[in-house]
């Protein structure tokens, strides 16, 4: 039997980045927001001694590693080692989240794998334990488990729910090519040079906007400290932001370390209209209208197959 778990893409409505830490990470104050663009991961027992076997289908499947470097393999080895099990498992990944886009697709797959293996291996892990294993795999994995809209502190792994009402509507504009997260952080440090860097913080206006469903105020509050670095590494992103503005988006911001840009829309119809205009520009590789505050990693109904 295969156990299927889906997990969402994420963006950061605020990404405030502090100075580099001694361990190479940066302290963040971020507002994570899960988008209803979901990867699906199916796990089933492999034959004895077969190890972790990975198959990938869907968006960007050819560029996803199927060896031990894939975060899903690391997730399987982590749990197997912790509980003294043989990691003989087949993992099927059905990708809808573009890779290397600043949408945490790899973290979504790792989160889904943790939830699926917890079920397959009858580990009975608590949410807190899953999050603790997730944080060992990557800074965004705990949020991929949770979903919704959350404040992230530390390197992003310390989470607190944020009160929001209703859904938010977005257009995801995916540029050709990817950006490596460490490279973008390094570029930010380089651009900042020897200037003193303030501790990361979140303006109250954004939290109020989320509480009161004030689309204009949220648009005014979208901010990403990594954006100048991502634009420096991929100058065409500046043009993508202008295209979204011209098309009538409330606001746009680079998602995480980029190069995906997310545009805020008034409502679902507005998001679909924007997506049509942006698709026609031909500047982006993919364009999706999606809603946010999506659930985190969840087990799918038994018998559900891969994405249609």
Query: Whole-angstrom Cα distance, residue 123 to residue 234?
Result: 44
Both tokens of residue 230? 């991502």
Q: Which of 11, 70, 139, 144 binds ligand C5P (CB under 6 A)?
A: 139
The site map against ligand C5P for 10-29 (x = CB under 6 A) is --------------xxx-x-
The residue from 36, 118, 140, 225 that is catalytic is 140
Which residue, 130, 140, 154, 180, is CA-closest to 299? 130
Q: Is 182 in the site for ligand C5P (CB under 6 A)?
A: yes
Q: Which of 156, 200, 292, 296 binds ligand C5P (CB under 6 A)?
A: 156
Active-site residue flag, 140 = yes
Rounded least distance, CB 10 to ligand C5P, Å: 12
Query: Whole-angstrom Cα distance, residue 53 to residue 210?
Result: 42
Q: Is 142 in the site for ligand C5P (CB under 6 A)?
A: no
Query: Whole-angstrom Cα distance, residue 99 to residue 248?
Result: 27
Both tokens of residue 95? 């990708």
The site map against ligand C5P for 99-138 (x = CB under 6 A) is ---------------------------------------x
**Distance (Å) of CA 155 to CA 173, 185, 224, 228:** 26, 12, 15, 20
Rounded least distance, CB 156 to ligand C5P, Å: 5
Query: Scanning the structure block, which residue is given the tokens 């090519």?
Result: 177
Query: Whole-angstrom Cα distance, residue 170 to residue 266?
Result: 9
Active-site residue flag, 95 = no
Q: Residues in the site for ligand C5P, rule: CB under 6 A?
A: 24-26, 28, 138-140, 155-156, 181-182, 185
Residues annotated catalytic, as ranges: 10, 140
């Amino acid at each position: 039997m295969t156990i299927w778990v889906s997990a969402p893409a994420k963006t950061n409505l605020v990404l405030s980045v502090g100075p580099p830490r001694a361990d190479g990470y940066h302290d963040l104050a971020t507002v994570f927001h899960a988008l209803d663009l979901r990867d699906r991961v199916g796990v089933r027992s492999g034959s004895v001694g077969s190890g972790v076997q990975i198959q990938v289908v869907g968006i960007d499947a050819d560029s996803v590693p199927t060896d031990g470097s894939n975060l899903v393999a690391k997730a399987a080895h982590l749990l197997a080692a912790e509980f003294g099990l043989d990691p003989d498992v087949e993992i099927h990944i059905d990708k809808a989240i573009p890779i290397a886009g600043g949408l945490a697709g790899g973290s979504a797959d790792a989160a889904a794998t943790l939830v699926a293996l917890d079920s397959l291996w009858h580990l009975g892990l608590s949410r807190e334990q899953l999050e603790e294993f997730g944080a060992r795999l990557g800074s965004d994995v705990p949020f991929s488990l949770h979903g919704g809209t959350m404040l992230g502190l530390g390197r992003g792994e310390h989470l607190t729910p944020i009160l929001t009402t209703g859904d938010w509507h977005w257009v995801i504009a995916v540029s050709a090519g990817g950006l490596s997260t460490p490279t973008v952080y390094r570029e930010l440090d380089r651009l900042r040079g020897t200037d003193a860097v303030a501790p990361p913080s979140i303006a109250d206006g954004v939290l109020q906007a989320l509480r009161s469903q004030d689309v204009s105020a949220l648009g005014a509050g979208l901010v990403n400290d990594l954006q100048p670095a991502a634009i420096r590494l991929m100058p065409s992103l500046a043009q993508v932001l202008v295209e979204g503005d011209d098309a009538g988006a409330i606001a746009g911001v680079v998602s995480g370390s980029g190069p995906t840009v997310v545009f805020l829309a008034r409502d679902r119809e507005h998001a679909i209209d924007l997506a049509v205009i942006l698709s026609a520009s031909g500047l982006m590789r993919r364009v999706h209208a999606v809603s946010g505050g999506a659930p985190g990693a969840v087990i799918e109904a038994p018998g559900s197959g891969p994405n249609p």
